[in-house]
Amino acid sequence: MPCRICQRSLELVCDFGRMPIANRFVTADEFAGEYFFPLRLTWCPHCTMVQLAEQPPAEAMFHGAYPFFTGSSRRMQEHFATLAATLQTTWLCGRGNPFVVELGSNDGTLLQHFAQAKIRHLGIEPSANVAALATQRGVATTTEFFSDAAARHILAQHGPADVITMSNVLCHIAPIHEVFAGFATLLAPEGVVVIEDPYWPAVADQTAYDQIYDEHLFYFSLASLTALAQQHGFVVIAAEPQWTHGGSMRYTLARPGTHAMQPTVATVHTHEQEYGIATAAWHRDFGARCAASREQLRSTLEQLAYSKSSVMGYAATSKSTTVLNYCGITTDWLPAICDTTPLKQGKFSPGAHIPIIPAERFHSEPPDVALLFGWNHAEEILAKEQSFTAAGGRWLLYVPTVHLR
Ligand code: DWN
């Protein structure tokens, strides 16, 4: 497979082995028919885009029983409330009857703020169950994948969009050029595209290899996103680091000459150059650190089992699927994972088949050690689980390094 952005040859960064669909939690009678694919991370030495060598079909990943809800974290709700306010004050103020479009609008966590403010909006969400939740909240939502054809249809119905936004969505999409064609069709002449995604240098720097799974096809940096945007006649006018998902970047794109470029672009660009993210050595080093982290986590879990300490996983994140399968973790070391999502409870984790139990069981049967798969929510989770820690419970983390605390 050549680079999806510039069509030149890709180089292997790390082979994570056979992997199931990260968000397809299964029942026992589904074990035999589980979908597996080779999870291999590559990078393009020409345009610098980091990407999976292959990805399962979109319909296998995003379906009518998609079990991730943006609103499942209190701090993420706050983040999206702030983003909504920022979009309004920065890009919509002074525009008559503005129109906001969100791709992958999930349960409407962001767009509900526009609905409440009676601002014209439209969410585009391919997973019917989460889209239905957004509709119940009064968020105008259509259940489909975004494409240039969809953009033409929306343009005819609603007119051009002043803001097209998406958070943790663009990095999931294989027909990415089709999506950019849709931006060009739908965006008003002076409109902006606001994109948030995990920031590849932050992922690599923290050895957060669990961000690598089927849904995450692309791993953007400013350099690689700029190369992509330029192909479609857009420039990046702002690049602002975010705390979300362990380190993300918010990129604002516009048509050349319509808005001034913010100083943040030069700052991030300089940082990426100094950091050397466009070198083969930097990528090789990441691959080596993933393998070392796996061995450390395996040996820590082995020691805990040997000392008869009970361990429970905390939060059945998509990321946990990579950790469990890459590290070969079984129920011998991890008998269960607790999670707040009813759609996951009572099922088994993809591939490794660890039982998912309700979050309440963490309180009624606290383990000696909690393996924190939701490490990106550590601040929120550790604050609400203070009594576990106060009673002597310990947390096992693996980002940025494997450690007990
Ligand atoms: O890009 C993506 C990001 C934004 O969200 C997706 N491809 C899917 C998803 O990834 P994730 O599953 O790794 O997301 P989170 O937000 O790290 O984890 C969510 C899971 O954690 C849910 O199953 C709920 C659970 N959780 C919990 O059990 N207790 C979360 C919190 C905050 C908690 O206190």
The pLDDT tens digits for 94-117 are 899 999 999 999 999 999 999 999
Among the listed residues 290, 239, 286, 292, the one whose alpha carbon sits nearest the alpha carbon of residue 267: 239
For 365-389, how does the pLDDT look when each residue is reduced to its tens digit (9 = 90+)? Answer: 999 999 999 999 999 999 999 999 9
Ligand 1 in reach of 377 Cβ (< 6 A): yes
For 294-314, how does the pLDDT look when each residue is reduced to its tens digit (9 = 90+)? Answer: 999 999 999 999 999 999 999
Nearest-atom number in ligand 1 for the CA of 339 is: 28
Query: Could you tell me the distance, in angstroms and rounded to a whole number, from the CA of residue 25 to the centre of ligand 1?
Result: 13
For 208-221, how does the pLDDT look when each residue is reduced to its tens digit (9 = 90+)? Answer: 999 999 999 999 99
Tell me which residue has its CA closest to atom 21 in ligand 1. Answer: 315
Query: Could you tell me the distance, in angstroms and rounded to a whole number, from the CA of residue 77 to the centre of ligand 1?
Result: 12
Ligand 1 in reach of 381 Cβ (< 6 A): yes
| Residue 91 burial by Cβ neighbours in a 10 Å radius (0-12, 13-18, 19+) | buried
pLDDT-derived band at 59 (thresholds 50, 70, 90) equals: confident
pLDDT-derived band at 67 (thresholds 50, 70, 90) equals: confident
Q: Give buried/exposed letters for 150-165 (b at 16+ CB in 10 A, else e).
A: bbeebbeeeebbbbbb
Report angle CA 393, 396, 398 to the nearest 5 degrees.
Answer: 165
C-alpha–C-alpha distance, residues 261 and 268, integer Å: 13
Tell me which residue has its CA closest to atom 7 in ligand 1. Answer: 215
Query: Could you tell me the distance, in angstroms and rounded to a whole number, from the CA of residue 212 to the centre of ligand 1?
Result: 14
Query: Could you tell me the distance, in angstroms and rounded to a whole number, from the CA of residue 318 to the centre of ligand 1?
Result: 7
Ligand 1 in reach of 264 Cβ (< 6 A): no
Q: pLDDT > 70: what percent of the chain?
A: 100
C-alpha–C-alpha distance, residues 37 and 227, integer Å: 28
